[in-house]
């Protein structure tokens, strides 16, 4: 792999604007090459004397004054009482061929390097501040732990002695990893040189515990209600083992996240330094100069390369974490700190292909069986379509949605959309597109097997009933799927299943929980699965009233309760999304969420009117359904394209799109907008009452629902692309981790 591609692949996606623009710098090298070829055509086939310079950067150059090509100046000034440094390169061979291009090259290189150096320094300063906060949290944890031990056994109060210096951060110059346990001088001491800090070191129990409160980081419906009545978010300290365990878990997560930040910072420094080195080697080779050595000497003395703060912070984090959270077991501690990668195993690919082949074979077998037995022409076809088909199409909707999600994951990865960070998946547990396809094809295979087993169109001639066992197959399949989803054992992607269930519960419990992106994203998926939710309602009615014994749905059709819930069930996903918007309005203080809530309210009214029209034909229902459906469609389409996707921006370089695009082909965005508009109009089939002789009504409903699922799949990609670009614009690459304790002085500073 060429370095340029490898460089891009290893970038932190949200920081891509802060990296050296390696590709842009290479365009100057092409200009320099072209200028030299024009000035000296014979040099094209003559080897350059600088071709071996890549192996001579570390040698001492002879007669430097004679061969000097550039001079790098350091400019410093004071900005807000902070010393700022900038590097400026003077090119000394201006009169030679290609001199203008070389001046532009070094000017751009200086600008890029100064950008990287400043960005790195800013991020290190932020890390230093976070290290101080974690140091204070560790002080509180140690004091809290000591108090719990004393409460458990008062006789230990005099015997317990905690060396707090062993659990603090160091920013010295030593890089010897074998002596990290001997480091005692902390970052906190360097940043707070007052007597209060020294007193905290002497007796943390007396000085720290009197000035802290516990944060309630886990939100519950009860905590939401307390927030509404303005009850404080902190709770008084209770020195119990349960509280100690909660504090340790929270702080352990905070340390792991902080360590990942430091790893990314270290990688950022290394990659950019390597990029500068690579581009200078190319420059020296093309321009036949010896400027790389001089420039790299400056790079080696810059903050980006010479600062040891990140390395020292990493050593201190390792020391604290291993000693305090891994019982001094270095192997165990480092396994927790290091990022966990979700490996793509060959058996996943094989199993996915196997189930895909099974599903295709079963579809072919099903088609041949229907044709051979002429099932489409039997009297039981209509009965089957009105009873068994609505039961089985639920699984079809789920499988199609999972396939669309797998396609989303594939394209998100291809275009470097950091979906795992956006959804806040636990590191190493996010599913790849192969895993999702495996689950979808597996469920599809099970569903098709059930359909083949349950394909009888005729009842028993004597009893006039269907066999109970075969009629219960759809219910058995539904129960099996629910059992697998709820399975507590660590198999079949338990972490992902539980994450899905927790988000689903927050959607159902809206607005009692704070709304994260994963919450409203799943709620939006549910709005495209209205027919699937109605299928679940039919399961309850069909098997609850015993209609499955005679394969009929008369009881459900004539039941007023079923009809009422047919309206309610179709509205529930939109209502959940409406409540989420209301909650976000109060939480974020943003009126934009009110406008979004109005969108879902209009959709609810339009959906109810269309459903009423299908049950009670009449001009009044028809006209009102047309009006509200038209307004809701226009509103929702505008919101999709302009707000959710961020397109149709004026004054940007990509006409009627947005400033930044991840997909290089603009026609993809135009086609997506057109498709969104067309697929938003599938409700026209309901009001126009379109019928096709070769399609049953239930089949038409299923096809319209599938089109909505496809539209949602397209919406998913561009919605997350826009979210990712917003993160890139803010350089937001890390999630914020709530800390277990709050210091009174910090609370007053925030106020």
pLDDT one-digit tens code per residue, 444-493: 999 999 998 887 666 555 555 667 778 889 999 999 999 999 999 988 89
Q: Model confidence at 78, in pLDDT bands (50, 70, 90)?
A: confident
pLDDT at 495 over 80: yes
Instruction: Please state, in angstroms and as integers, the Cα–Cα distance from residue 67 to each residue in 61, 62, 63, 288, 514, following that order.
Output: 9, 9, 7, 11, 65
The model's pTM is 0.83
Partners of residue 379 on adjacent β-strands: none
How many C-beta atoms lie closer than 10 Å to residue 58's C-beta? 7
Residue 233: CB partners within 8 Å, gap ≥ 6? 215, 216, 223, 227
List of residues 6+ apart from 377 with CB closer than 8 A: none
How many angstroms separate the CA atoms of 748 and 746, rounded? 5
Count of structural domains, the chain: 1
Could you tell me how far CA 417 lies from the centroid of its own chain? 8
Contact between 587 and 519 under an 8 Å Cβ cutoff? The reply is no
d(CA 233, CA 207): 22
Alpha-carbon distance of 521 to 647, in angstroms, equals: 19
Q: Is 507 exposed, middle or buried (0-12, 13-18, 19+ CB in 10 A)?
A: buried
Query: How many CB atoms neighbour CB 305 within 10 A?
Result: 17
The interaxial angle of helices 292-301 and 241-287, nearest 10 deg, is 160
CA pair distance 242, 144, nearest whole angstrom: 12
- Residue 155 is predicted with a pLDDT of 59
Query: Average pLDDT of 487-504?
Result: 92
Bridge partners of residue 235, in order along the sequence: 214
CB neighbours of 74 closer than 8 A, spacing ≥ 6? Answer: 85, 86, 87, 298
Considering the domain boundaries, does residue 147 fall inside one? no
Backbone angles phi, psi at 174, to 5 degrees: -70, 140
* Closest-CA residue to 269 (of 239, 229, 314): 314
- Two tokens, residue 576: 């959940």
Res 63: pLDDT: 39
Percent of the chain with pLDDT over 90: 41
Integer-rounded Cα radius of gyration of the chain: 33
Concatenate the DSSP letters of all residues of 680-747 into one string.
TTTTHHHHHT---TTS-HHHHHHHHHHHHHHHHHHHHHHHHHHHHHHHHHHT--S-----SEEEHHHH
| Predicted pLDDT of residue 466 | 67
The DSSP H or E segment spanning 75 is strand 70-79
As a whole number, mean pLDDT of residues 50-62 equals: 37
Tokens of residue 158, six digits: 């005099």
Instruction: Inform me whether the pLDDT recorded for 178 exceeds 70.
Output: no
Within 10 Å of residue 284's Cβ, how many Cβ atoms?
24
The answer to whether 685 touches 704, Cβ cutoff 8 Å, is: yes
Give 39's pLDDT tier (boundaries 50, 70, 90): low
Predicted pLDDT at 84: 81
Cross-strand pairs, 74: 87
Is residue 425 assigned to a domain? yes
Q: What integer pLDDT is reported at residue 289 of this predicted model? A: 85
Q: What is the crossing angle of helices 530-544 and 697-730, to 10°? A: 130
Structure tokens at 407: 């396609």
Closest CA to 369 of 297, 296, 452: 452
State the residue range of the domain holding 664.
Answer: 346-730
Distance between CA atoms of residues 439 and 581, nearest Å: 32
Residue 13's closest CA among 516, 434, 430, 421?
421
* Number of CB atoms found within 10 A of residue 320's CB: 21
**What phi and psi, each to the nearest 5 degrees, are found at residue 650?**
-90, 150
Check whether 95 has a pLDDT greater than 80: no
Distance CA 318, CA 311 (A): 11
**pLDDT tens digits, one per residue of 217-242:** 566 666 566 565 555 555 567 778 88
- Kindly report which listed range (239-253, 477-491, 568-582) carries the lowest average pLDDT score: 239-253
Q: Which helix (H) or strand (E) holds 85?
A: strand 82-91
pLDDT value at position 427? 78
Mean pLDDT confidence for 116-141? 91
pLDDT per residue as tens digits for the range 615-631: 777 788 888 888 998 99
Per 3-state DSSP, the chain is made up of helix, strand and coil in percentages (nearest 5) of: 70, 5, 25
Mean pLDDT, range 182-205, rounded to an integer: 45
The reply to whether 336 falls in a domain is no
Inside any domain, residue 495 = yes
Within 8 A by CB and 6+ apart from 732, the residues are 14
Buried b (16+ CB within 10 A) or exposed e, 394-428: bbbbbbbbbbbbbbbbbbbeeeebbbbbbbebeee
Write down the H helix ranges in 454-559: 468-471, 473-486, 494-508, 517-527, 530-544, 554-558
Distances 329 to 126, 312, 334, 588 between C-alpha atoms, Å: 29, 20, 9, 43
Q: How far apart are the first and last CA of the chain?
A: 52
Per-residue tokens: 406? 């797998």
Phi, psi values for residue 192, rounded to 5°: -135, 90
Length of the chain: 751
CB 596 within 8 A of CB 639: yes
Judged by DSSP in three states, 89 sits in strand
pLDDT, one tens digit per residue, over 321-351 is: 998 888 888 988 888 888 776 666 788 999 9
Q: Is residue 715 part of a domain?
A: yes
Whether residue 549 is contained in a domain is answered as: yes
pLDDT bin (cut points 50, 70, 90) of residue 162 is very low
- Residue 28 and residue 21 in contact, taking contact as beta carbons nearer than 8 Å: no
Backbone angles phi, psi at 60, to 5 degrees: -80, 120
Percentage above 70 pLDDT, the chain: 81
């Amino acid at each position: 792999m060429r370095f340029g591609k490898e460089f891009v692949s290893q970038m932190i996606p949200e920081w891509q604007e802060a990296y050296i623009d390696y590709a842009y710098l290479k365009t100057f090298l092409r200009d320099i090459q072209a200028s030299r070829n024009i000035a000296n055509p014979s040099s094209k086939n003559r080897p350059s004397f600088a071709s071996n310079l890549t192996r001579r950067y570390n040698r001492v150059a002879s007669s430097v004054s004679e061969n000097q090509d550039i001079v790098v100046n350091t400019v410093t000034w004071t900005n807000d009482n902070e010393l700022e440094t900038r590097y400026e390169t003077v090119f000394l061979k201006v009169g030679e061929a290609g001199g203008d291009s070389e001046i532009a090259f070094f000017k751009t290189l200086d600008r890029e390097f100064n950008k990287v150096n400043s960005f790195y320094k800013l991020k290190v300063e932020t890390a230093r501040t976070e290290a101080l906060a974690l140091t204070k949290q560790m002080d509180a944890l140690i004091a809290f732990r000591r108090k719990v031990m004393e409460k458990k056994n008062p006789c230990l109060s005099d015997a317990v002695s905690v060396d707090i210096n062993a659990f603090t951060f160091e920013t010295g110059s030593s890089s010897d990893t074998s002596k990290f346990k001997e480091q005692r001088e902390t970052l906190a001491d360097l940043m707070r040189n007052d007597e209060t800090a020294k007193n905290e070191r002497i007796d943390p129990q007396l000085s720290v515990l009197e000035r802290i409160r516990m944060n309630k980081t886990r939100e519950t419906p009860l905590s939401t209600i307390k927030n509404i009545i303005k009850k404080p978010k902190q709770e008084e300290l209770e020195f119990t083992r349960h509280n100690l365990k909660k504090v340790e878990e929270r702080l352990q997560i905070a340390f792991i996240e902080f360590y990942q930040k430091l790893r990314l910072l270290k990688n950022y420094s290394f990659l950019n330094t390597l990029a500068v080195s690579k581009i200078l080697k190319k420059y020296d080779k093309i321009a036949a100069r010896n400027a790389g050595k001089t420039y790299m000497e400056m790079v080696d003395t810059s903050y980006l390369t010479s600062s040891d703060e990140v390395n020292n912070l990493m050593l201190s984090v390792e020391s604290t974490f291993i000693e305090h959270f891994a019982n001094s077991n270095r192997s165990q501690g480092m396994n927790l700190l290091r990022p966990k990668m979700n490996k793509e195993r060959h058996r996943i690919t094989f199993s996915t292909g196997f189930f895909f082949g099974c599903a295709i074979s079963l579809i072919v077998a099903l088609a041949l069986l229907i044709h051979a037995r002429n099932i489409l022409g039997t009297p039981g076809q209509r009965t089957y379509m009105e009873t068994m088909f609505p039961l089985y199409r639920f699984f079809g909707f789920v499988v199609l949605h999972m396939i669309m999600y797998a396609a989303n994951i594939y394209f998100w990865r291809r275009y470097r959309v950091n979906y795992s960070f956006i959804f806040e998946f636990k590191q190493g547990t996010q599913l790849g597109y192969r895993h999702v396809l495996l689950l979808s094809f597996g469920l599809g295979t099970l569903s098709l097997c059930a359909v083949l087993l349950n394909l009888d169109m005729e009842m028993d001639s004597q009893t006039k009933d269907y066999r109970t066992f075969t009629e219960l197959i759809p219910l058995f399949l539904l129960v099996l799927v629910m059992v697998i989803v709820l399975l507590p054992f660590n198999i079949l992607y338990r972490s992902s299943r539980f994450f899905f269930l927790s988000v689903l519960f927050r959607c159902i419990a809206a607005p009692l929980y704070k709304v994260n992106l994963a919450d409203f994203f799943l709620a939006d998926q549910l709005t495209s699965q209205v027919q699937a939710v109605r299928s679940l309602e039919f399961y309850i009615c069909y098997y609850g009233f015993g209609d499955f014994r005679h394969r009929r749905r008369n009881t459900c059709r004539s039941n007023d309760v079923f009809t009422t819930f047919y309206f309610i069930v179709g509205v529930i996903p939109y209502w959940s999304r409406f409540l989420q918007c209301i909650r976000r309005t109060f939480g974020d203080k943003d009126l934009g969420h009110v406008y979004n809530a109005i969108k879902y309210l209009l959709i609810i009214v339009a959906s109810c009117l269309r459903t009423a029209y299908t049950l009670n034909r009449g001009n009044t229902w028809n006209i009102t359904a047309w009006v509200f459906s038209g307004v809701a469609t226009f509103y929702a389409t505008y919101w999709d394209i302009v707000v959710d996707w961020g397109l149709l921006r004026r004054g940007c370089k990509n006409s009627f799109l947005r400033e930044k695009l991840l997909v290089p082909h603009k026609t993809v965005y135009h086609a997506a907008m057109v498709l969104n508009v067309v697929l938003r109009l599938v409700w026209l089939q309901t009001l126009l009452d379109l019928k096709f002789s070769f399609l049953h009504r239930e089949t038409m409903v299923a096809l319209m629902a599938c089109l909505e699922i496809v539209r949602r799949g397209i919406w998913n990609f561009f919605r997350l692309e826009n979210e990712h670009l917003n993160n890139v614009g803010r350089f937001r690459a890390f999630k914020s981790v709530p800390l277990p304790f709050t210091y009174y002085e910090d609370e007053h500073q925030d106020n």
